[in-house]
Structure 1
Amino acid sequence: MSVKPLSKGPNEQSGADSLRFDNIMRLSQKGNAKPKQDRTATDNEQWPPIDETRVDAPRDGKIRYQLDGQGVVVERSVNPELYKFLVNLHALNQAPEQKAQVVAAMGDEHAIADRNTEVQEWGDYTQFKWQGNLEDAEVITYVTADGETVTVSKALTPQLFIEVQQIGLSRYTLEQRVADGREVAGPDTYVAEHDIALWGGPEEFGNGVIQFETKDGKKYVVSEHENKAMYDRVAGMWSDHVKGGDSIQKLREKYDLPDLDKLDLLGQSSGEKANKDDKEEMTVVELATKNLLDKYKKLIDDGKVGKDSDIYKLVKAIEAKASMESGHRITPTSRIRVAVTPPGASSTAMVKP
């Protein structure tokens, strides 16, 4: 039978105390150890990880980061690419929500876009994901035709983010127009200018999407990111259409033809004035409107038009509008009455429709 004492003998106790003393001394020395001095990054420095690096604000062409207790100072003149990355990483660290999305994407084993990430061809994007509205998103994740999932941060790669966001917005806008019954003009679609009957403008839908219709009745929508030649053709037709008025006028001036405004018969002077004290004469349209209004007023005065008729309501509305424009104050007093007060008058005249 082997019996081990519960208490240690004198020699064993002494050895244990010595070991304990050495441990205390080592911990004491570790606690009193001086912090590592910052070192200067080389032009071939290994880039620090996104999620574990603390970055100070840049100053005087230098930026400092800290990783695992070691501070590193990067000079822009020595390593401009790393300096730029750290500036962007500092911006990311100042945006907690964006940083959280990036870290979550890393946890999902997504590739994080960096300086080597290039914009894909239109057909290489199969899916886009984002939080909230795409216009306001700060992180966009896309899936390629090869199945790779890439997350793009607005802070880390701002220029790439803008390009990917524009492609995503264009794809989203295109899908909305397809849902309205239009066909997508793909990369191989070609429609000659003389076969286009109707066309829209670049600002109609925005996001690099424009629509057009052919003479045989086909309705198309096209993205500049997918078929730039077709997009530019339609956009050019719109531009020519907008500039057409000026071009026609210049051509008329060249051959001493009258201005287009002078050929507008309805805008010509009628030779009559609304009131004898007026300086300007009424146009043809204004005279025709006055004659029609006088005709309607006579119908009302003769009792041939009731208060519930559209003619009666139209005349009273025009009279009220004219009173307001001439300086009278119009105050609704009930659902069917309007109070009209001339300037400076204290009494109220009631106009009953």
Structure 2
Amino acid sequence: MTALALSPRRLGTTGPEVFPLGLGCMGMSDLYGPADRTESIATLHAALDAGVTLLDTGDFYGMGHNELLIAEALKGRARENVVLSVKFGALRDPAGNWIGYDARPQAVKTALAYTLKRLGVDYIDIYRPARLDPVVPIEETVGAIADMVQAGYVRHIGLSEVGAETIRRAAAVHPISDLQIEYSLISRGIEDGILETCRDLGIGITAYGVLSRGLISGHYQASGAASDFRAHSPRFQGENVAENLKLVEALRQVAQARGASVAQVAIAWVAAQGADILPLVGARRRDRLAEALGSLNVTLDAAALAAIEAAIPKGAAKGERYAAAQMEMLDSERTGA
């Protein structure tokens, strides 16, 4: 990897410096079908050994399982070498069903207490509500996290999947390090005002779904598992998935011409959209992690970027990224810019 590729990225003007790729850990516990615990731990170790610093999780990933898994992987590791990014607020029942959000100040502090215990740490680097609570003003939620910053339990405050107005309201209460939001070649809604707002305010972007949950990875195969939420996502259904995979084949031609894989080009494209953008990769296996790390060796010049745009033009994807009920929960989609 080149020195340039390995240059750290800062999450906004107030956030931490991190390795130029982050690891999203959700799939090791939830939502993509069965995961291999041993391989998950090995993948976490491989990521840390490769220099990856940011690990992203949520207290509702496997109802605490993901935090416990990360805690196990971090045993014997220096705490200061890891940036833990944690989402909270999503409510689930014992069967794993989604039953709403709770971002009231007292819920914020209770959730944080449990997260600290499960992860076995004294502080969380970046703490963020997973979604906007429709009945709790964002000022109250951010204010509660700010109390925890003052008390030393949280270092930075982040946001997730919120629109420009909410971002501005939150930033007026306390500096925001980064906005976590889906961003990929086939999910580019952030470009319609949200990215500009974040840049105006000095807020970084942590981009998840850079491979659109495997759809544009070049490796996609339906798992068939009942627990794989992609079976209910419009982009993965019927004619939509067939049309979307045609886009992937067009991208494959661009990638092969440059000696890279589809996934590497897709990740590199997100990284190329700005030094203030940190791609999160959701690798659950060491081979997929190694492939993702290889994206750091991919240089996209103007010709390459034009070829990628021609292969997958903005708005080319068929189907929404979530089912209609879930789309309604996204402040980032509801409010647009």
Q: What is the TM-score when the length of structure 1 is the normalising length?
A: 0.16
Greater relative CO (CA pairs within 8 A, separation 6+): 2
Rg (Cα) greater in structure: 1
Question: So what's the TM-score if we normalise by structure 2?
Answer: 0.17
